[in-house]
Amino acid sequence: MKLLLDEHFAYAIAEELSRRGVDAVAITKDRPALAGQDDDVVLRGATVEGRVVVTNNVRDFAPLVESFGLNGEQQYGVLFTDDDTFQRGESGIGLLVRSLEAFAADRPDDWLLDSCIYLEPVSPSRVRSPSSRAQASCDPTSQHAMNGDPAAHWVTNLLRARLSA
């Protein structure tokens, strides 16, 4: 599974994922033409490349996924994160990297085709199996969606933070 990290994620996350064998790119460094673009442009750009968009921006992307579906427009999926689960700091980045790595492992590029799901954190005792197709609500008003701050941005010092293994 190929990933496109929305612009509020530090490019160091994509670099660490790539180092671990995950095909991940970040808008902030690898796709600067998408920076500042409307979310539908980002989703279409990811689709052209066969990538799943990873974002905290539930409020905008959840209705967009629905709109694409209603209009018969295909997209490769959206993977939602939130700041309560993946805190913005060194330990949160490490957990995010490990969780994205586990999620993308052994899943075909089209596993999230035309859908969205929340990323769950990995735990040492649980191995997640990609045996079933994603079944998740993309309702931006759900309790899980409201826990995150989709407008928050990564601070500069996170670019230099060492990713926890």
Residue 165, pLDDT score: 34
Q: Is residue 32 part of a domain?
A: yes
Q: Is residue 145 part of a domain?
A: yes
Q: What is the mean pLDDT of residues 118-132?
A: 62
Mean pLDDT rounded to a whole number for the chain: 79
**Strongest mean pLDDT among 104-113, 135-144, 148-157:** 104-113
Residue 141 has pLDDT above 80, yes or no: no
**What's the total number of domains in the chain?**
1
Residue 134 has pLDDT above 90, yes or no: no
Q: What residues does 26 pair with on adjacent strands?
A: 5
Residue 38 has pLDDT above 70, yes or no: yes
CA distances (Å), 105 to each of 2, 19, 117, in order? 10, 14, 16
Domain hosting residue 86, numbered range? 2-160
Q: Is residue 72 part of a domain?
A: yes
**Residue 115: left (phi > 0), alpha (psi -120 to 50), or beta?**
beta
Q: Is residue 65 part of a domain?
A: yes
Q: Give the residue carrying structure tokens 């750009």.
A: 45
Residue 52, pLDDT score: 98
Q: What is the mean pLDDT of residues 6-22?
A: 95
Q: Is residue 10 part of a domain?
A: yes
List % helix, strand, coil for the chain (3-state, nearest 5). 35, 10, 50
Q: What is the mean pLDDT of residues 49-62?
A: 96
Q: Any idea which of 91-95, 118-122, 130-134 has the lowest mean pLDDT?
A: 130-134
Q: Is residue 28 part of a domain?
A: yes
Residue 92, pLDDT score: 82
Q: Is residue 165 part of a domain?
A: no
Q: Is residue 12 part of a domain?
A: yes
